[in-house]
Amino acid sequence: MSAAAPIVEGRDLTRVFPMPAGDVTALGHVSIRIEPGEHVAITGPSGCGKSTLLHLLGCVDQATGGTLLFEGREVGALSESDRSRIRLTRIGFVFQRFFLLPMLTAWENIELPQAEAGASKSERRARTRELLEYVGLTERMDHRPSQLSGGEMQRVAIARALANRPPLLLADEPTGELDEATGEQIADLFDRVHADGTAIVVVTHNPVVAARAQRRLAMKSGSVVSG
């Protein structure tokens, strides 16, 4: 185990969803530690709690039990605006359906989180150009999402997730909407991001993507069963 402080650490995390037919435990007593620069894949069947765990780690949902520490701060004790700030500056999110803003170009989609974080215009311009080169889409910077392929959209989404230089990148089924070849390109891109020092936690069904991770956590019925 690494001696460095973890980026995010969940202790005995539980997430229960109240339902009309009775409470559903999506996650039961899971403990997890993500170290800086780590590459972790979470796998398991549908409905096993992978995305729920990812949402807790990404501070977009709150555990009903247990403790989550992000860079040493207890997330449950933070205000909504503090959690938003953490998500904006310390975490990058990549979604299965990309969720790019359809009215903005690739350039503008990547620039948007930087503007929200308060980066100056010149900083934004330099960082956006750098990220477009990084994901190989410089030629497509003026294209809207509707003019891009699925793989290109996911590359723009990854660039957007990296815009504020977060130490942690969370990806929820990033290749779920892509064909095999494009999925491999995205996996290659994750490898580069990881090699550049960003910790990655990826929830995936794709064995190719999972195989690239340093550590694989297998989940079943709301619990981590191996890894």
Partner 1 sequence: MSAWSLAWRTVVHNPARACLAIGGVAVIGALLFNMLLLSRGLLVSFRDLLDTAGYDVRVLANEGSPIHRAPLAGAPSLAGEIERLPSVRRVALIRSDDALALPPGRDADAASVTLIGSTERQLGGAWDIVKGSTLPAEVHPGEPVPLVVSTKLAARQRLEPGSPLRIRVNLAGGASVLPSVDCRVVGIGSFTFESAYDYTVATTMAGFAAAHGAPDGKDEADLVLVASAPDAGPEAAAKAIAALRPDVRVYSNAQVVDQFNARAFSYFRQISVVLSTITLAFAFLLVATLLTMSVNQRLGEVAALRALGFPRRRIAANLLCESALLVGVGGVAALPLGGVLAIVLDRILRAMPGVPERLHFFVFEMDTVVLHAALLTATGILAALYPIWLAARLPIAATLRKEIVS
| Positions that interact with partner 1 (CB under 8 A) | 51-52, 55, 58, 60-61, 80-81, 84-89, 91, 93, 95-97, 99, 101-104, 108, 111-113, 115-117, 160-161, 172-173, 176
Q: Are 90 and 113 in contact (CB under 8 A)?
A: no
Minimum CB distance to partner 1, residue 106 (Å): 14
Q: How far apart are CA 215 and CA 201, in angstroms?
A: 10
Q: Please tell me the distance from the alpha carbon of residue 41 to that of residue 204, in angstroms, as a whole number.
A: 7
CB atoms within 10 A of CB 138: 13
How far is it, in rounded angstroms, from Cα 67 to Cα 6?
A: 14
Side chain identity, residue 215: R
| 39 vs 114 by CB, closer to partner 1 | 114
Residue number with CB closer to partner 1 (1 or 22): 22
CB of 15 or CB of 39, closer to partner 1: 15
Q: Which residues pair with 223 in a beta bridge?
A: 220
Residues in a beta bridge with 169: 92, 200
Least distance to partner 1, CB of residue 173, Å: 7
Q: Tell me the C-alpha distance between 190 and 170, whole Å.
A: 11
Compute the least distance from the CB of residue 70 to partner 1, in Å.
13
Tell me the closest approach of the beta carbon of residue 144 to partner 1, in angstroms.
9
Backbone Cα Rg of the chain: 17
Contact 205, 169 (CB under 8 A): no
State which amino acid sits at residue 159: A
Please, where are the H alpha helices in the chain? 50-57, 80-89, 106-117, 121-134, 150-161, 180-195, 207-211
Nearer to partner 1, 84 or 223 (CB): 84
Q: How far is the CB of 161 from partner 1 (least distance, A)?
A: 8
Q: 33 or 144, CB closer to partner 1?
A: 144
Shortest reach from residue 201's CB to partner 1, in Å:
14
For residues 53 and 137, which CB has a smaller minimum distance to partner 1 in the complex? 53
